[in-house]
Structure 1
Amino acid sequence: MTVKASPNLSRTRQAVFGDLPDVLAEIYRDDVNMAVWRRPVGAKLIAEVQALSQKKGISSHRTIISVANTPNVEEALPHLAAYPHLQKDIGFLVDMFGCLFELNMVGLRIATPTRAMCPRFHVDRIPCRLITTYLGTGTDWLPHQSVNRSKLGAGNGGLSDEESGLYPSGNHIETLLPGDVALLKGELWEGNEGAGMVHRSPSMNLDEHRLLISFDFLSPANP
């Protein structure tokens, strides 16, 4: 496991990376606002997501999956019947996410965007979100110590993120890798107010294909 450490600030936060799924439990640490399981994506799974990313009519799909018992991804995502490796992997991640946070239901989004969905840096007003990019460029993020939070949202004064002083330079922008399973702590995680992970969708080339999923809480949890 490697830790990207922050200086000793009053509200210091850090991103934690590991090669085993156990690293995701580090999200419960007060000084962590992102935990990333850095995993490889198998060739059969890659082939399926490449095929799905080019299929028309699935730019974004949202559904709710019950995880009170064993999640039945086949019933919740029947349109993925032709992609068994993707179905199986999503089921595994749903089960892991639900167990980690003791959830009864999980909100799932599958997206194959053709442009950046959230092109500006922002924080989420949620407790925590799981994001993984199967294909294409991963999510951009800023280390906690590199962000001037007064420049988020309306604080940018109408300027772009690059011009507003939100971060010192483009060298401070980091990007998750395809296959990374990331837990991003938001502003509504108790004790994390003012320290939610700052992130954005990456810019995309005209011929680029992406496929990503995200999970959100849909039942009470007490992180």
Structure 2
Amino acid sequence: MISEILKSRPGNDPFFAPNDVHRRSIQSKEIDVLTDIYQEEINIAVWQRELSDDIKLAVSDFLNANPEFQKAMTVTPQSAYSSLSSSLGKVSYSGLSENIAELVDIFCCLFDLKRAGLRLVVLNKAMCPKFHVDRVPCRLICTYQGEATEWLPHHLVDRKKLGRRADELVDNLSGENKRKLKKLNSGDVALLKGESWQGNENAGLVHRSPSLSGGESRLLLTLDFAG
């Protein structure tokens, strides 16, 4: 069913977006919002998903038992569940493995990919604290527990103060406007259009990792295109 919903995406060229169009976000509690990433003006599509209590419990237990977990692998929709189950270990984490495998299936179906680059990490500090863009066509991000990714609307970004040019600048001089700062919620599934999406040069979504309080942990999943 999910595959059929995602296959109904618009028929335009999936990696072309004229660079002179306005960029904006879109959010919905319905899964088919993810297909809107194909719209020319969309540079972030967010499926506002609520995790089940069982998944939340499994994630909390996993974080407590694996405070330094780091795993990167290339998976197919067919191999994702078994690869994740092997990596996560306990049978009690099977629901989490199934949940992540479903996202792999969605991601690969949406972009006609045979495989995806999967990264699942436990973080106790901001991994990418500066505002930046990703040099990828599109990346899926989901925070299963903890503070989630922060991002800025396209029209508020000063791109002259991003990346290396922001190394000596505090965040309020590297593109941040706290009144307009946007934030994903734990459980949300977001597609972030990057600089390598054809026609999206200088329009990739500007985002950063959230700061974490002492003792706080975050479980982050990312999916990328894999050759």
The one-letter code matched in structure 1 to 2:207 is: H
Unaligned runs of at least 5 residues, structure 1: 1-8
For the Cα contact (< 8 Å) 1:64–1:76, is it kept in 2?
no
Q: Indicate the larger mover: 121-130 or 56-65.
A: 56-65
Q: Secondary structure at the match of 1:170?
A: coil
Which of residues 200, 204, 216 is equivalent to 2:208? Answer: 200
CA contact (8 A) 2:125 2:212 kept: yes
2:128 aligns with one of 118, 132, 135: 118
Cα pair distance change 1:208/1:140, threshold 3 Å? same
Q: Which residue of 1 aligns with 2:153?
A: 143
Aligned equivalent of 1:212:
220
Decide whether aligned partners of structure 1 residues 210 and 72 sit closer, same or farther in structure 2, where only a CA change above 3 A counts.
closer
What are the residue-to-residue correspondences of 1:2-17 with 2, within 5 Å?
Answer: 10-17=20-27
With over 3 angstroms needed to count, the CA separation of the structure-2 counterparts of 1:11 and 1:78, relative to structure 1, is: same
Looking at structure 2, the residues matched to 72 and 109 of structure 1 have their Cα atoms a distance apart, in angstroms, of 12
Q: Is the contact between residue 74 and residue 81 of structure 1 (CA under 8 Å) also seen in structure 2? A: no
- What CA RMSD, in Å, does the superposition of the two structures yield over aligned residues? 1.7
Instruction: State the 1:56 CA deviation.
Output: 3.5
The answer for unaligned runs of 5 or more in structure 2 is: 1-18
Structure 1: which amino acid aligns with 2:210?
A: P
- 1:96 corresponds to which residue? 106
Partner of 1:129: 139
Q: What is the alpha-carbon distance in structure 2 between the residues aligned to residue 93 and residue 157 of structure 1?
A: 34
Aligned with residue 194 of structure 2, among 175, 186, 195 = 186
Using the TM superposition, give the Cα deviation of residue 170 of structure 1 relative to its aligned residue in structure 2, in angstroms.
1.3
Partner of 1:156: 166
1:42 to 48, 52, 59: 52
Rounded Cα–Cα distance in structure 2 between residues aligned with 1:128 and 1:25: 12
Give the AA of the match of 2:147: T
Any conservation in 1 of the 2:84–2:97 contact (CA below 8 Å)?
no
Distance 2:72 2:164 in 1: 29
For the 8 Å contact 1:13–1:144, the answer to whether it is kept is yes
Whether 1:173 and 2:153 are equivalent positions in the alignment is no
- Indicate conservation of the 8 Å contact 1:122/1:198, yes or no: yes
Q: What secondary structure sits across from 1:87 in the alignment? A: helix
Verify the 8 A CA contact 1:24 1:183 in the aligned structure 2.
yes
Query: Aligned equivalents of 1:146 and 1:24: distance in 2?
Result: 23
* TM-score (normalised: structure 1): 0.88
